[in-house]
Structure 1
Amino acid sequence: MTHRLAVVVPTPAHSTIAGPLSYLSELPLSPGSLVRVPLGKREVLGVVWDLPSDQAQAAQDIELKPVAGSLQGIAPLGAAWRQLVTFSSAYYQRGLGEVALAGLPPQLRDLNTVQLARRLKRTAAAHDHVTAAAPELTAQQKQALADIEAASGPFLLFGATGSGKTEVYLHAVADALARDANAQALVMVPEINLTPQLQARFVERFGEANVVAMNSGMTNPQRLKSWLAAHTGTARIVLGTRMAVFASMPHLRLIVVDEEHDPSYKQQEGARYSARDLAVMRGKIEGAKVILGSATPSLESWHASETGRYQRIEMPARVGQHAVFPAVRLVDMNLQPKKAVFSPQLLGAIQERIARGEQSLVFLNRRGYAPVLACTSCDWKSECPNCSAYRVFHKIDRSLRCHHCGFAERVPRSCPVCGNVDIAPVGRGTERLEEHLGELLADIRHADGQPVRIARMDADSTRLKGSLEEQLARVHAGDVDVLVGTQMVTKGHDFRRITLVAALNADSALFSSDFRAPERLFSLLLQAAGRAGRDATQAAASEMWVQTFHPTHPLFGALRKHDYPTFAAQQLKERQQAGMPPFGFQALLRADARTQEAAQSFLNAASEQAAGLADFDRVTIYSAVPMTVQRVANVERAQMLIESQHRIALQRFLAAWQPVLHATREKGLIRWAVDVDPLTI
């Protein structure tokens, strides 16, 4: 007897096959079972789905194909996991198979029965003993845990930098695991570079066998090992980046999203999901508690806590009897020497820290030596031939490198246009800043006669395996006097010796066309300030310096008081008046094509055919425009904004629009994508 099964497979992004396909099986496999099935000329991994087989689409052949094999020994993926995938597929307007298979380790497809049995045997090790050693909690930490224990959430843990949010996470996880012998917890961080240090703390507290990591920096075998440990319940704690939101955890009881405001939780390729929002939805589906933590919550989460959808728990004080927040000092650059990179006052403050054996952090959100190389005689600049952007000058390897498409070549000896040998860098990146600071501090010596030690931490200096950990170890050991870096050094790091943080070129986001720019800037500056004075014995002398040409801007007024609520209230008022999120809802239709005309032609045609669709009268479709960087890797890019005051109306319209988009064909069109709840416009 044969059984007809509905199976989701990884169909192409623009395939009209969005749901499961029908296959035949000799075994009555239950929903969630993993199978290998033929798709065209390939054999792919698939998941048996819940749909009745008569609702699944028959594969292109009239005669149904049989399942090639099932992955015996792996328990079916749970109903809650399948429900999360179904929701994500519908909400973010992507194929069911694309979302489902993206959450599974690629190596699963290639395992035979013997290999799979061997790997499952390895993951079946006994749990390490869950230890209870932990520092004494502060009164506000105890209260936060009591609030989490007493209610169902979701919770917004609004904790100041240095208030001990991580310790609350550790205790909340310990409580969840202690209540249920099988319970699991998911802890998410925004970026890979934060995973190792947090993992070390969790391993120390809970034992190595109980904790696994999940992030895009892992090899396929590592991902498979972690996934199997989580799926079988052997690993009780999963630490991961946004991809971990789809980890199969059959006994999930707690989800923690640290630094929930961070844009890194939003996927920018493929299915453009928000892992933070899906974490909240997953908690609702599975009956798991969800804790969103941040010193500068996203305005969406803050508004949800204002309206009662989230329960807000506040931890306003830093840990330590004498712990205070660093004083914020604004330097009016209008009063400084022209073209000065460091004001004399800031340079003097850095020198004072060096003399006292303390550390300083200088951050500039632009890597490389200079944003552009230019000829002093003609108009030549180091434009990328493939993108509508400049290639960045990297002095360390004498290259011009595009940060959009990756195209790089050696710096020319002379101007390619006029032959002038006097070509010079324009603007500054972290590489040039490090060099300039070295020149300014060249005559400064430690008491033992040693020169000042300056280190740079950005995507270039941490590219090699192990280099990030090595640099962090140097900073923590006190072997660095001044740390220069991009925003990666301002997130989550517990630098105990830093007493001064300086922000250069902070004005660039104040007058951006992106309505989220002030929120991002305030968050970045307040998070950066939080790296200073984390040791209570040095907190009183800690400072945050901001060099600005607009010292009277309201954003800096709130920053000086470390007053996020006032800043949030002002921003939410402006957004409500403009009907912007969280008071309105948005989606972007993006198009990539050979020419800008073809990209915009597709968008305009799709807009014209939208009339009469479901809820068309409740959405606003704006004109097609080029994207900010309109050409990347010789592909022209354009976008169209869709807005509505009603989330459900927008979703209904987008769902009805999908067949139109699939049917709309323009010559030269490469791909299109819908981005629901976009973070950058």
Structure 2
Amino acid sequence: MIYHHLALNVPLYCLFTYVHDAVLVPGTRVCVPFRNKLVVGVVWAAAVTPDIDVAKIQPIQQVFDAEPRLPESWLALLDFTARYYHYPLGQAALAALPQGLRQTRAVRLPEPVRHYTLSILGRQHAPPPIRHAKQVALWQVLSKGTADMAALKAIYVQAAKYIQIWQDAGWITVQTEAAYRASPIDGHVLNPEQQAASQAVQAALPEFVPFLLYGITGSGKTEVYFDIMDKVLAQGRQVLFLLPEINLTPQLLKRLSQRFAQTTTAVLHSQMAAGARTQNYLRAALGQAALVVGTRLAVFTPMPHLGLIVVDEEHDASFKQDSELRYQARDLAVWRARQAKCPIVLGSATPSLESWHKARMGDYTLLTLTQRAHAAAQLPQVHLVDTRRLPLDQGFTEVVKEKLQANYASGGMSMVYLNRRGFAPALFCSACGHVFGCPHCAAKMVLHQRAHQLRCHHCDYRMPVPSVCPECGNQDLTAVGQGTQRLEETLRHWLPGARVARVDRDSTSHKQDWAQLYEHIARNEIDVLVGTQMLAKGHDFARLNLVVVVNADGSLFSADFRASERLFAELMQVAGRAGRADLPGEVWVQTQQPENKVYQALKAQDYTRFADAELAERRDMAMPPFAHMAAVRADARTMQAAQQLLRTVMAASVQQHGLPEHVNQFGPVPMLMARLAGYERAQVFLESRSRRDLHRAVSWWQTALLAEAKSHPHIRWLIDVDPMEL
């Protein structure tokens, strides 16, 4: 009998020993009994010496040996992830798998994608008669290169019937390997800056070199990615393309399908059906998919021939998981590129200060694009509107209102940006001042007028809009502030006949909402876009020439040291949506702090100026990236209980181990969102210039927490390394 160590999806920091009658290869998926039920496990080590009574060791019930095993590189990646983020290995490993592989049954393996092209005999044969237009269209596609059945059916629904007929006649050649060849570029030529950036990355193939591609908005970073990808795919290697948001996928996939029509592509994101996501994951793992496009979880996808990683909008906070396993996909992508010995390209118009600092220090190779890719396109002109002495009409100054009306009258397209969904951010009583807050969170309820609801945007608690104040009975309840729904209503009133579309989490909750929005914009069926930060990233709307930013000042007063960086990136990105084609662009920003460094750098559109000034402040304060941070958090029914657990554990950790010389501890203190979903939240910060010393201190905390938390079963705790939330 052979003993094996298995990773199971349980919150324990250990592997589990099971027995089997043969040696199983690490990475094999199995099914085992655990606490009176069957669960999925992954073999982590084989032929081990058990350290418990062998009579207590249970047998492995089922081995899914027909499935591709998870490779050693995947096991190493998850082992590093669990150690770095101080998370149970089994939970990390199973979280990295798609749903189909977390279930206690075998999965259906994907059929190899077949690619069809004309054979030598077919090229010598006459095409179908011209009267059969659909057949002629199929023949033309096959004569130019290869295509899979999905692409052929998009041309003619009966494609399978005719492909079979032509194949039986010997006119068709079938390939089952993943197709890597790019389609013709249709005359697109990179400008000198783009060409230099692409060639620099290509020169690094096939070695690990991290590149930071800093290019102004509209500079054609995507075309640089594509040019490099073309080279890598042609070598028979795979490409991993990471995006921060699902809503960026439709537009990118359309461009990919045009440029890499003959390349098998696997898409991975959370809105996909579980079965489709599992099949795409397996296609990548089997080498059937040459290109993998996905959001942060796709960083864990096994790819046996990985030759390039691209992280687009690398600055985006969405790459950091904010629950359970709190990993940073951008950083893991860099680790994975080093593991695979391949280049990685991190791209952004507003790089994260961590990446910018590494480029300044020479750890990353900096590539720069300083001009817009479209020959006629120029950076938009940015105007700051000081609202301290100007009256506001429904949140707009008169000059901005007139700009919107004039742009609509002249046939332009406008975007109004406000990072606050709903109708109004608060509802209060004008008689006694009562504000309707969430009963479960330290947050105000947001008015959603069309649904006639108050909603908490943190825990999603909902209630009907009250008719009277619960404090004094007053019926005069006032909506305070602006939300995207209120702006939409105002613009429909001011611009009668204008086609106004609101874009926020409420309006784009369904799978096809983004695809439909792009179709409307492509057909020039939208005059004004109103939305949140979902509109700020990566979108390219040629007709958009006016951007208005409403009420961005709130971020300037945040206690989060990253608030200025986030606001600047947000505004630079949204401003960059304007003037990307022939029409000159304008950006109007309403603010009560026009002299603030964020707005001054925005007006100058000078990222370098902002980043270097911000880094100087971070250096003086010993804040990231000049120091490293971790947060230890506790959630309890009372703040006193949460803080007391942290104090007890802090004392136990210091008493047993002391504190590394270069590590500082702060707290416990309440989090900025002190109450969330019925729990009071407290935290302790650990900071150090030494990453090694920081992780040693976190490990001591973890040991003390595991010992102490047993006597506090109702208090939740977690460790967040490199936290983004304060």
When normalised by structure 1's length, the TM-score is 0.93
Match of 1:131 among 179, 182, 185: 182
> In the TM superposition, what whole-angstrom CA distance separates every residue of 1:39-65 from its partner, at most 9, and x where no partner exists?
2122122111147623x7659x85211
| Structure 2 letter corresponding to 1:222 | A
Instruction: Note if contact 2:180-2:263 (Cα within 8 Å) is conserved in structure 1.
Output: no
Instruction: Note if contact 2:425-2:482 (Cα within 8 Å) is conserved in structure 1.
Output: yes
| Structure 1 letter corresponding to 2:678 | N
What is the alpha-carbon distance in structure 1 between the residues aligned to residue 551 and residue 606 of structure 2? 22
Equivalence for 2:5: 6
Equivalence for 2:266: 212
Match of 1:102 among 95, 101, 107: 95
What is the alpha-carbon distance in structure 2 between the residues aligned to residue 122 and residue 406 of structure 1? 43
Q: How does 1:377-388 map to 2 (within 5 A)?
A: 377-388=431-442
Match of 1:144 among 183, 197, 200: 197
| Structure 1 letter corresponding to 2:602 | L
Equivalence for 1:606: 649
Note if 1:513 corresponds to 2:513. Answer: no
Work out which of the two has the higher radius of gyration on C-alpha atoms and give 1 or 2.
2
Q: 1:112 to 1:622 in 2, by over 3 A?
A: closer
Equivalence for 2:30: 35
Note if 1:469 corresponds to 2:524. Answer: no
Q: How does 1:165-564 map to 2 (within 5 A)?
A: 165-179=221-235, 181=236, 183-207=237-261, 210-337=264-391, 341-442=395-496, 451-535=497-581, 537-538=582-583, 541-564=584-607
Q: How does 1:147-162 map to 2 (within 5 A)?
A: 147-151=200-204, 152-162=208-218
What is the alpha-carbon distance in structure 1 between the residues aligned to residue 378 and residue 74 of structure 2? 44
What is the alpha-carbon distance in structure 1 between the residues aligned to residue 697 and residue 46 of structure 2? 24
Instruction: Note if contact 2:3-2:46 (Cα within 8 Å) is conserved in structure 1.
Output: no
| Structure 2 letter corresponding to 1:211 | T
What is the alpha-carbon distance in structure 1 between the residues aligned to residue 452 and residue 265 of structure 2? 43
How far apart are residue 372 of structure 1 and its match? 1.1
What is the alpha-carbon distance in structure 2 between the residues aligned to residue 429 and residue 268 of structure 1? 25
What is the alpha-carbon distance in structure 2 between the residues aligned to residue 38 and residue 174 of structure 1? 47
Instruction: Note if contact 2:634-2:717 (Cα within 8 Å) is conserved in structure 1.
Output: yes
User: Structure 2: which 5+ residue stretches go unaligned?
Assistant: 115-175
Q: 1:423 to 1:133 in 2, by over 3 A?
A: same
| Structure 2 letter corresponding to 1:673 | L
Match of 2:638 among 595, 600, 605: 595
How far apart are residue 615 of structure 1 and its match? 5.0
| Structure 1 letter corresponding to 2:504 | D
> In the TM superposition, what whole-angstrom CA distance separates every residue of 1:118-167 from its partner, at most 9, and x where no partner exists?
53436685434623322221111111111112234200000111111111
How far apart are residue 345 of structure 1 and its match? 1.3
> In the TM superposition, what whole-angstrom CA distance separates every residue of 1:585-623 from its partner, at most 9, and x where no partner exists?
100011111111111111111111121527533211111
Match of 1:89 among 76, 82, 91: 82
Instruction: Note if contact 2:425-2:444 (Cα within 8 Å) is conserved in structure 1.
Output: yes
How far apart are residue 68 of structure 1 and its match? 1.1
What is the alpha-carbon distance in structure 2 between the residues aligned to residue 195 and residue 319 of structure 1? 21
What is the alpha-carbon distance in structure 1 between the residues aligned to residue 213 and residue 94 of structure 2? 32
Note if 1:68 corresponds to 2:112. Answer: no
548-557 vs 585-594, which moves further: 548-557
| Structure 1 letter corresponding to 2:429 | C
How far apart are residue 209 of structure 1 and its match? 6.0
What is the alpha-carbon distance in structure 2 between the residues aligned to residue 50 and residue 461 of structure 1? 48
What is the alpha-carbon distance in structure 2 between the residues aligned to residue 499 and residue 175 of structure 1? 35
Equivalence for 1:651: 695
Number of aligned residue pairs: give it. Answer: 658
Equivalence for 2:21: 26
> In the TM superposition, what whole-angstrom CA distance separates every residue of 1:537-596 from its partner, at most 9, and x where no partner exists?
21xx31111111111112222111211011000000000000000001100011111111
| Structure 1 letter corresponding to 2:682 | A
CA root-mean-square deviation: 1.8
What is the alpha-carbon distance in structure 2 between the residues aligned to residue 508 and residue 267 of structure 1? 24
Q: Give the percent of matched residue pairs that are identical in Structure 1 and Structure 2.
A: 42
Instruction: Note if contact 2:453-2:462 (Cα within 8 Å) is conserved in structure 1.
Output: yes
What is the alpha-carbon distance in structure 1 between the residues aligned to residue 639 and residue 48 of structure 2? 43
Instruction: Note if contact 2:112-2:177 (Cα within 8 Å) is conserved in structure 1.
Output: no
What is the alpha-carbon distance in structure 2 between the residues aligned to residue 482 and residue 494 of structure 1? 15
Q: 1:679 to 1:252 in 2, by over 3 A?
A: same
| Structure 2 letter corresponding to 1:336 | L
Instruction: Note if contact 1:599-1:637 (Cα within 8 Å) is conserved in structure 2.
Output: yes
Instruction: Note if contact 1:593-1:668 (Cα within 8 Å) is conserved in structure 2.
Output: no
Equivalence for 1:576: 619
Q: 1:23 to 1:130 in 2, by over 3 A?
A: same
| Structure 1 letter corresponding to 2:699 | A
What is the alpha-carbon distance in structure 2 between the residues aligned to residue 431 and residue 133 of structure 1? 44
What is the alpha-carbon distance in structure 1 between the residues aligned to residue 547 and residue 2 of structure 2? 65
| Structure 1 letter corresponding to 2:26 | P
Q: 1:458 to 1:277 in 2, by over 3 A?
A: same
Equivalence for 1:49: 44
Note if 1:621 corresponds to 2:620. Answer: no
Q: 1:572 to 1:38 in 2, by over 3 A?
A: same
What is the alpha-carbon distance in structure 2 between the residues aligned to residue 163 and residue 49 of structure 1? 46
Q: 1:376 to 1:58 in 2, by over 3 A?
A: farther
> In the TM superposition, what whole-angstrom CA distance separates every residue of 1:256-291 from its partner, at most 9, and x where no partner exists?
000000000000111111000000000111112110
Q: 1:601 to 1:6 in 2, by over 3 A?
A: same
Q: 1:457 to 1:625 in 2, by over 3 A?
A: same
User: Structure 1: which 5+ residue stretches go unaligned?
Assistant: 443-450
Equivalence for 1:446: none
What is the alpha-carbon distance in structure 2 between the residues aligned to residue 583 and residue 44 of structure 1? 43
Equivalence for 1:447: none
What is the alpha-carbon distance in structure 1 between the residues aligned to residue 573 and residue 242 of structure 2? 18
Instruction: Note if contact 2:26-2:45 (Cα within 8 Å) is conserved in structure 1.
Output: yes
Q: 1:123 to 1:28 in 2, by over 3 A?
A: farther
Q: 1:140 to 1:584 in 2, by over 3 A?
A: same
> In the TM superposition, what whole-angstrom CA distance separates every residue of 1:459-498 from its partner, at most 9, and x where no partner exists?
0111233222222322232211111100101111111110
| Structure 1 letter corresponding to 2:101 | L
Instruction: Note if contact 1:36-1:109 (Cα within 8 Å) is conserved in structure 2.
Output: no
| Structure 2 letter corresponding to 1:255 | I
What is the alpha-carbon distance in structure 1 between the residues aligned to residue 449 and residue 409 of structure 2? 30
What is the alpha-carbon distance in structure 2 between the residues aligned to residue 667 and residue 21 of structure 1? 25
| Structure 1 letter corresponding to 2:501 | A
Instruction: Note if contact 2:250-2:514 (Cα within 8 Å) is conserved in structure 1.
Output: no
Instruction: Note if contact 1:119-1:225 (Cα within 8 Å) is conserved in structure 2.
Output: yes
What is the alpha-carbon distance in structure 1 between the residues aligned to residue 558 and residue 441 of structure 2? 21
